[in-house]
Structure 1
Amino acid sequence: MTDTTPPDWRDTVFLPKTDFPMKAGLAQKEPAILERWAKLGLYDRLRKQRQGRERFILHDGPPYANGDIHMGHAMNKVLKDIIVRSQSLMGKDAPYVPGWDCHGLPIEWKVEEAYRAKKLDKDQVPVAQFRAECRAYAEKWVAVQRAQFERLGVMGDWEDPYLTMKYEAEAAIVGELLKFAESGQLYRGAKPVMWSPVEKTALAEAEVEYEDVVSTQIDVAFEIVEAPNAPELVGAHAVIWTTTPWTIPVNQALAYGPEIEYKRINLSFDIERDLSDGSPELHAWMASVDFFRENSFLIATDLIDTFAARVLASLKRAVEWGAAVTLDDVYTLWTGKGSQLAGAVARHPMHHLGGFFAKPRPFLAGDFVTTDAGTGLVHMAPDHGEDDFLLCKANGIDPVFAVDGAGMYRDDWLWLGGQGSVINKKFVSAEGPICTDLRAAGALLAASDDFAHSYPHSWRSKAKVIFRATPQWFIPMDRSANSDHPGDGRSAEIGSRSEAWEPAARPHPNPSPEGEGLKGNGATLREIALDAIEHTRWVPERSKNRINAMVSQRPDWVISRQRAWGVPIALYVDRKTGAYLNDPAVNARIVDAFKAGGADAWFAADHQALLGPGYNAADYDVITDILDVWFDSGSTHAFVIEARYGEGVRANLYLEGSDQHRGWFQSSLLESAGTRGRAPYDAVLTHGFALDGNGRKMSKSLGNVVDPLKVIGESGADILRMWVASVDYFEDVRIGKEVLNTTSDAYRKLRNTFRYLLGALDGFEEAEKVAPKDMPELERYVLHLLGNLDMELKAAADAFEFNRYLRLLTDFANEDLSAFYFDIRKDSLYCDAPTDIKRRSARTVFDILFHALVRYAAPILCFTAEEVWQARYPSEDGSVHFLEWPELPGLPGDDAVSTSWADVRALRAQVTEAIEPLRREKIVRSSLEAEVAVPRAPLKPEALAEVFIVAKVTTGANTAPIAVTRTDFHKCGRCWRLLPEVTEDLSLCARCEEVVGA
């Protein structure tokens, strides 16, 4: 019996072979790859390999060591790692030294929380013990975060990171402080600063966030007792409006606008009710109404209506039938300019208490007074406002420090002594003790607990902050180094409020032509910093405007904090003169003591030994205030960059979130500008924040937090890394389940590209290679595309635009390779003879593509690229991350090839579209069964048939559309192409017969 079963040619087809799995299993594989890198000593070996090369230093901004990492940390660290790896790929020596901020409020607050949980008072604990617990807490979280950052694939000097609490770092920080002291860029002054009554310390602007609140607003009457330029006002009541009632007990003056028009008015009310038989409360209310009938009030003309409305609303709320009260009329008794108030004096509503409250309250001209809100008169409490402080200081009125660090009035204060806290809503409410006493004194004209506005809160405790005058240390913005002239009196870190100080923008000085700073030329710190901004590359460029505006308008830098954990302001202050000791020899001994024992050495020091024989310790106060933690991190360039790479070396790049324009970017700039006359960086990159999938800020209360550790545990770090590279991180970005699913899909496609290349290159040897000049046009075209990709990827990497970089890479892999080149050449790869020039050319191009793509992907997909490389070149001693940017073969004169093949691809897309209806109608099952007539032929018909993957191509009229029909050709049993030479289905075509016969 004759066997009619067709021959099985599968064993003769050269199908791709690889053990590289389609399923990634990243969560399981990546830890093993990390272990291998650690065993290999990848980072240290890379440093040795790159020694002597051009250096690229990305300086790590230190996160706080106080908790597990969040998505913002992950995004930041991955982006840094991508940039560092890309610079290394480009052949540079790109070290990365990770660091941590170990001092300051975030860590101190966590240790305090532990004390509060045990009902213990931190202030009762010895300073040495408390500092030791803070150090231990920081050490614990440094270890935790280090492991988490490493798990992200971040490559760096994890064996020797920088910590601001290391002894050498603390010594460097105090050394930088003493540089400011020696150059005269340091002073102590009592000025209002942001103060947290909960944490009992001054706060930097970067430690403050603004939230919407509802506060008490009050109108208070100050009786005028003298008015030399307007005697008609004596006996009238000047009315002030404030949203901080707790500042009234510290009032010392009233401010007016010289050009504002004011009126002395009387208010008349109608009461549609019989009041002859009322309760005591009703009679008290009537006394209030009578007060308005019997007295007159000084108000800015433009604000009379809003003042009257507040008064009427307050009267209505005071009794159940308040709707029966209406304003009858407003009578004008006097009109004049604010300038006529010069020399006028009022008395405090609580003047009957004597002492401080009996002193006259002068009227002072203030150019900050407006008629935007209130009454056009502003009460001045120099302890609690920037405008207040400056105006009163100019008129010989100093702060009185009535409110202590906990927000309580000090015990000896005549009014409300020992009471508070001033941020307690009940204490400052319309029914609280302040308003109650003012009401009893006949001075509270209106009060309501309904004023909605934005108010500063501590970023850490979430509690309200206040503006409080305390003795603090400052670095002046507008005083040149070694100048005997004081700055302009601006205090530090003052935020906004309803009567806030708004400094005028300073003009930028002409930037120094060499970009090497203005230090030594009598320039101020502000001028040096602005000049440095001009000579720094800002990415994106618009971020330059933000930091320029901040530095142009910022106040003096308050660098002192009333804390226990941090680097102390190691100064000695003469008890007689109040001047700090400025002796380089003493300063050198201080720095040496810090090197030996860290900052703790200051608190246990033999200060006479540090001062030396030339001074008597009894003559000096030892300062124990703690340095602002932003000064710590602002000094890192000194003990990380310069200490490791040489004096004068600066970072190529700083990279952090956009909030660091007021934080680390600025503190680093000011510190370096003050000590070196220039910025510590050449370029600054700003990224946005990570939001949830709906564009909302992540918060535990909303339940929308995307945990990077969970993402890594489920999907792998490379998915997270690919997400970071895929988004426009110069803006705020979204991450959620849908976004990560999209990223995973893109990852799988790229992974399959590598899998295909590995399979196609099975058994590839050097002898098989073909020179580009001898290759078919299609191969030369693909190499031309690769060359273009190479140039664009370099440009994207130089611009730090890795979303563009990744998009270029994935588009090339998906569109140019998988959907085009691989699709066309799989026939040659599977069925041509191993010696065939076309197949050898294709495999040569595959090899070039492999070496290029695996390198291009390595900065982003660091684990996958290593897996791919080891799949082809297994070695205990090798790594893809030792490689440098690929050297591609030159292809001169191939622009024409590129142009013609662009036409071919466009026609191919039209042919594919024309075949699709026949597929849907099942006239053809695949394009191989189709014959196509095209209006033009950029290649020979046989070549076009191969490119279109069809049975036959013919050329029609130039104007005719593409026509598709089913072919009558038979199918080759080996390559499955339908060709005229195949006499019956499943017999072999000439090519396959030759290959099989061979």
Structure 2
Amino acid sequence: MEYKDTLLMPKTEFPMRGNLPNKEPEIQSKWSEMSIYEKVQERTKDRPLYVLHDGPPYANGDLHMGHALNKVLKDFIVRYKSMSGYNAPYVPGWDTHGLPIETALTKNKKVNRKELSIAEFRKLCEEYAYGQINSQREQFMRLGVRGDWFNPYITLDPAYEAQQIKVFGEMAKKGYIYKGLKPVYWSPSSESALAEAEIEYQDKRSPSIYVAFDVKDGKGVLAGDEKLIIWTTTPWTIPANLGISLHPELDYSIVKVDQTSYVVASALLEEVTKVLEWEHPETVKTVKGIELEGVITKHPLYDRDSLVMVGEHVTTEAGTGCVHTAPGHGEEDFIVGQKYNLDVLCPVDEKGYMTSEAPGFEGIFYEEANKAITEKLQESGALLKLSFITHSYPHDWRTKKPTIFRATAQWFASIKDFRQELLQAIQDTKWVPSWGETRLFNMVRDRGDWCISRQRVWGVPIPVFYGENGEPIITDETIDHVSSLFREHGSNIWFEREAVDLLPKGFSHASSPNGQFTKEKDIMDVWFDSGSSHQAVLEERSDLKRPADLYLEGSDQYRGWFNSSLSTSVAVTGKAAYKAVLSHGFALDEQGRKMSKSIGNVIVPSKVTNQYGADILRLWIASVDFQSDVRVSDNSFKQVSEVYRKVRNTFRFLLGNLADFDQMTNAVSNENLREVDLYMLVKLNKLIDKVKKSYELYDFAGIYHSIHNFCTMELSSFYLDFAKDILYIESENHHDRRCIQTVLYESLLTLTKLVAPILPHTADEVWPYIPGMAEASVQLVDMPEAGIIAQSDELEKKWDHFMLLRDDVLKALEIARNVKIIGKSLTASVTLFTSVKVDALLQSIHEDLKQLFIVSNVEIGGSVENAPGTAHKFEDVSIVITAAEGETCERCWIVTPTVGQDVDHLTLCTRCAEVIKTSYTE
């Protein structure tokens, strides 16, 4: 008889190697065949609804790591909720309108925009968007993200557009929508107005000039021969200058330098003196800013006046305290200009070129005009200083090119009219991390009205008609009719029909006695598109609800989707679109830099899934502090792969040792388990509680570490290690063996469920190998519940104390191994000299100590005071390690004097001989 053949070694077909890049697509095909999303929703349909509303990614280009981070985090939460007593649908969405798609067609696809009608061009944009959606959908699904992928929401969908029109109409009805001439962020590169959310700041080198304005009428306060000095970094706005603003309460000094008198803020005199290299300026007079109100100066380039005004916006942070004011090129300039009835002069066209309203500079691009204007100022003697500075400057976040402020007629949402409701809604929302509340609160508190019109064609039209007198027409009747038309035909109909054909049949209005109407040509800001999703999706779909339980996006969305959703939702419903908001950081390279093709530091999700597998990418996402920026490197995936390998090996070991186990007939009740088995169940219960709490707190890194530590420390390094002697050596139905298998079964089932939201492919790969599983997928069961174990606290305290003693024994064994007293631990005999406390502990343990220590013999040598000098001394125990006496059993490898005592099995110990006789008799 080959004794090794009598060992009950692990048996399982569950593969050691994950081979995830090849295995995962097979698992995903099974999910598709079984309609796993629909099955999960059917199972949970009668449960309370939990809605995580998906913020729509833009339908252009392949996925980057930020996409993966975002969608996988959402998937963790939705999967967990569906296994925790909720009906948690997940409806993915796409943002499809806007400049990037227009640019992709005209530049990348070489579409000649001029040869097409607006409707034809928009049709190409729509086709392009759907192609991008199909590509991105496949990539998201490859990440294992579960959702209603073939019934998503799309901002170009007619039903979506119809609801967006309703949102606009409701806001207009409440008086929140108006058209006005105001300076707004304007992108010459996009030829369109921009909202604050579309602005990003980058460093820019700009000219810095100090310019003198001659006083024309001092109004009795000034002598009339002074010069007010302004400072600006935008010389191109000088042709639009209509005034100079001072702070009413600031002191202003009239100083004489070389027979010329200048006016500057007293607080800035020292700095101006330094910059202009004045020598010994003499302060002739000091006045308050309010005293200079109404003084008239002469424009340095043109024969026109510049009025001195006062405004609270003037500061002494930089410049001269005399602020160059061009109402057509700045919001604060516009406001103070309105107060003093100044014109709104804007001599720059939509492409950024100077117009005829800037004589001498017509046709020059505004940035190039800086030099020409500065030279003219030099010729006129008005230029006091020219230098250059590098400063943070607003750029178009799409084109990455500088923006300007430009006064144009635009449509606005008047935030100020419901600002307090917005601020209250922010305070009523739960924010994770908590600083998100302060961030958005401050943004909303300080923001101006929202410019919602864009001078593009690929977007949702602003549903406004104009009468013969130019009066805008927005009524319930027109809004309802346009909404119905869009729902039936899509918004392209706006560009296909004349205004009269878009109005309700027989429509009349006092502004058009002859029945002649025109329509608005501008489209809505894309943030209005996605910001309307609370109504176009949450209200539109019967499987969702408003407000959503959670919005989860990157931290850039405080100024984007979180903000626009809040504005439209509070405007329409009085409440926020969400109950809670969770934000994550950005994915950076290993050195903390933004990923860039030009740098060559880009790591894309598809590369990771092809090389390592989606579950490795998902496990990495679980391991990082996602609320901050995260660094991505190939090395980080290698490290996570090692953790995955340990978890997978744990699954394989558990499965292998349950090959002959039937939960229904072989499981041992808690009352009949040994203490060490109950101790492991106590630890398993604590793992369940800790992991579930971590899921609730979005602490996925906590789950990652808890699962890893349980597998490697509590299972592998202790329980599974000593259990091998019983699992392999004892007879199949031995009580101790069935006790251990009971614990292994509970551990396997629990771990599979706990990791399912994070490692869905691996969990579903394990699932059919678990004995007795009736459900087709782990996704169709709930999270485990912690069991009840009598006196668990006392039991855990006792065995935690034993584990400290075991650590001391392992240290002593390692020392003995290093000095060649023993080889493997099974060749050792351990003698313990203990304190009273440790002795009491050992007396209370009924399990076999030599099995727990994985040695061949354990003896209690008396009190710690009697330990010989050769003993290894620890806090409460001294330990002597010697070579075990006897022979090595051929079957169990224990060194014992009982080897050879059974004449039928001379190379076996008596325990193994007995197992052979009772279980393997021929």
Q: What's the TM-score bracket when you normalise by the shorter of the two chains?
A: over 0.9
Within 5 Å, which residues of 2 pair with 1:618-657?
Answer: 618-645=515-542, 649-657=546-554
| Aligned twin of 1:939 | 842
Which residue of 2 is the match for residue 981 of structure 1? Answer: 898
Give 3-state SS (helix, strand or coil) of 1:298's partner.
strand
CA distance in 2, matches of 1:414, 1:73: 46
User: 1:645 aligns to what SS in structure 2?
Assistant: coil
Aligned-pair CA distance for 1:123: 5.6
State how far apart, in whole Å, the 2-side matches of 1:348 and 1:51 are: 72
One-letter amino acid of the counterpart of residue 570, structure 1: P
**Structure 2 counterparts to residues 836-915 of structure 1, below 5 A:** 836-872=734-770, 878-915=776-813
Equivalent-residue separation in structure 2 for 1:646 and 1:928 (angstroms):
61
SS at match of 1:296: strand
* Aligned-partner Cα distance in 2 for 1:192–1:873: 70
Q: TM-score under structure 1 normalisation? A: 0.86
1:590 alignment counterpart: 482
The CA deviation at 1:647 is 8.7
Do structure 1's residue 526 and structure 2's residue 456 form an aligned pair? no
> What SS is found at the alignment partner of 1:91?
coil
1:670 corresponds to: 567
The answer to whether the 8 Å contact 2:415/2:567 transfers is no
Shift of 1:870: 2.7
Query: Equivalent residue of 1:454, what SS?
Result: strand
Counterpart of 1:338, as a letter, is: G
Contact 2:213 2:229 in 1 (8 A): yes
- Which of 231, 250, 253 is matched with 1:260 structurally? 250
- 2:293 is equivalent to residue 362 of structure 1: no
Cα distance in 1 for residues equivalent to 2:329 and 2:222: 31
Q: Please list, as runs of the form range in 1=range in 2, the aligned pairs for 1:797-808 lying within 5 A after superposition.
A: 797-808=695-706
Counterpart amino acid of residue 53 in structure 1: R
Q: CA deviation at 1:946?
A: 1.5
- Unpaired segments ≥5 residues, structure 1: 1-6, 269-293, 313-326, 353-357, 480-524
Distance 1:553 1:404, change over 3 A: same
Distance 1:262 1:583, change over 3 A: closer
CA–CA distance in structure 2, aligned partners of residues 613 and 795 of structure 1: 62
Q: Decide which of 383, 398, 414 is 1:444's aligned counterpart.
A: 383
Q: Cα deviation per residue 1:327-365 (whole Å; 9 max; x = unaligned)?
A: 55423443333222122100111234xxxxx2x211101
> In 2, distance between residues paired with 1:980 and 1:546?
74
* Pairing 1:969–2:886 present: yes
Q: Which secondary structure does the structure 2 equivalent of 1:651 belong to?
A: coil
Equivalent residue for 2:127? 136
> Could you give the per-residue CA deviations for residues 698-750 of structure 1, whole angstroms, max 9, x where no partner exists?
11222111111101101100000000011111111111022111100100000
> What secondary structure is seen at the aligned counterpart in 2 of 1:538?
strand
Q: Structure 1 pair 906/388, CA: closer, same or farther in 2 (3 Å)?
A: same
Aligned pairs (5 A) from 1:244-255: 244-255=234-245
Match of 2:652 in 1: 755
State the 1:70 CA deviation. Answer: 0.2
- Aligned: 1:77 with 2:96: no
Alignment of 1:410-429 (within 5 A): 410=355, 412-422=356-366, 424=367, 426-428=368-370
Question: Whole-Å Cα distance in 2 between the matches of residues 44 and 441 of structure 1?
Answer: 76
Moved more, 82-91 or 721-730: 82-91
Question: What corresponds to 2:158 in structure 1?
Answer: 167
Residue of structure 1 in register with 2:260 after alignment: 295
TM-align CA RMSD:
2.1
Equivalent position SS for 1:351: coil
Aligned equivalent of 1:827: 725
Between the aligned partners of 1:346 and 1:123, the Cα distance in structure 2 is 47
* Contact kept? 1:229, 1:340, Cα under 8 Å: no
Change in Cα spacing, 1:887 to 1:349, as seen in structure 2 (3 Å) is closer
Contact 1:229–1:343 (CA under 8 A) maintained in structure 2 = no
- Report what 1:740 is aligned to: 637
Partner of 1:107: 101
String of CA shifts for 1:412-457, please: whole Å, max 9, x gaps: 32523532311x3x431xxx21111111222111112x21211011
* Structure 1 position 34, deviation (Å): 1.0
Q: Map 1:144-163 onto structure 2 (within 5 A).
A: 144-163=135-154
Q: Distance in 1 between matches of 2:195 and 2:716?
A: 54
Q: Matches of 2:449 and 2:83 in 1, distance apart?
A: 43
Shift of 1:966: 1.8
Partners of 1:646 and 1:666 lie apart in 2 by: 25
Q: Percent identity?
A: 40
Most deviating of 614-623 and 132-141: 614-623
Question: CA separation in 2, counterparts of 1:551 and 1:142?
Answer: 32
Following superposition, the deviation at residue 852 of structure 1 comes to: 0.9
Paired residue secondary structure (2:407): strand
| SS of residue in 1 equivalent to 2:754 | helix
Q: Which whole-Å CA distance do the structure 1 matches of 2:242 and 2:574 have between them?
A: 41
The reply to whether residue 554 of structure 1 matches residue 447 of structure 2 is yes
Alignment check: 8 A CA contact 1:848 1:888 kept: no
1:10-29 matches, cutoff 5 A:
10-29=4-23
How far, CA to CA, are the matches of 1:826 and 1:170 in structure 2?
Answer: 64
**Alignment partner of 1:378 is 2:323:** yes
- Whole-angstrom CA distance in 2 between matches of 1:328 and 1:841: 95
Match of 1:957 in 2: 863
CA distance in 1, matches of 2:108, 2:478: 38
Contact 1:229 1:341 in 2 (8 A): no
Cα pair distance change 1:187/1:88, threshold 3 Å? same
Pair 894,568 (structure 1): closer, same or farther in 2 beyond 3 Å: same
Per-residue deviation, residues 586-623 of structure 1 (Å, max 9, x unmatched): 22111110011111111223533414424156554411
Deviation at 1:638, TM superposition (A): 1.2
* Cross-structure match for 1:467: 405
Letter in 1 for 2:167: E
CA-to-partner distance for each residue in 1:522-541, whole Å, 9 max, x for gaps? xxx21222211222111122
Residue 971 of structure 1: how far off its partner (Å): 1.9
Contact 2:244 2:308 in 1 (8 A): yes
1:346 and 2:297 are equivalent in the alignment = yes
What are the Cα deviations for residues 263-287 of structure 1, in whole angstroms up to 9, with x where unaligned?
333334xxxxxxxxxxxxxxxxxxx
- Partner SS for 2:842: coil
CA distance in 2 between counterparts of 1:243 and 1:222 reads 16
Q: What do the CA deviations read for 1:221-252 (whole angstroms, capped 9, x no partner)?
A: 111011124142x0211111100101100001
Structure 2: how far apart are the matches of 1:930 and 1:543? 59
Q: Quick check: 1:409–1:416 contact (8 Å CA) kept in 2? A: no
Query: CA shift at 1:477, angstroms?
Result: 1.7
Give distance in 2, aligned partners of 1:337 and 1:894. 78
Aligned partner (choices 557, 568, 573) of residue 466 of structure 2: 573
Q: Distance in 1 between matches of 2:357 and 2:451?
A: 28
1:28 and 1:648, CA in 2 relative to 1: closer, same or farther beyond 3 A?
closer
Question: Once the two structures are superposed, what CA deviation does each residue of 1:763-786 show, in whole Å capped at 9, x if it has no partner?
Answer: 212211111111111111111111
Distance 1:986-1:142 versus aligned 2 partners, 3 A rule: farther
Q: Structure 1 residue 886: deviation in Å?
A: 2.4
CA-to-aligned-CA distance 1:546-590 (integer Å, 9 cap, x gap): 112112212111111111100011012345373x32422222111
Q: Which residue in the other structure is 1:476 paired with?
A: 414
CA separation of 1:575/1:297 partners in 2, compared to 1, >3 Å: closer, same or farther? farther
Separation in 2, partners of 1:361, 1:459 = 35
Deviations 1:292-342 (A, max 9, x none): xx6332222333343344334xxxxxxxxxxxxxx5542344333322212
Give me the whole-angstrom Cα distance separating, in 1, the residues matched to 2:593 and 2:887: 61
Paired residue for 2:275, among 307, 310, 313? 310
Counterpart secondary structure, 1:413: coil
Whole-angstrom distance in 1 between the partners of 2:641 and 2:140? 21
2:227 paired residue number: 237
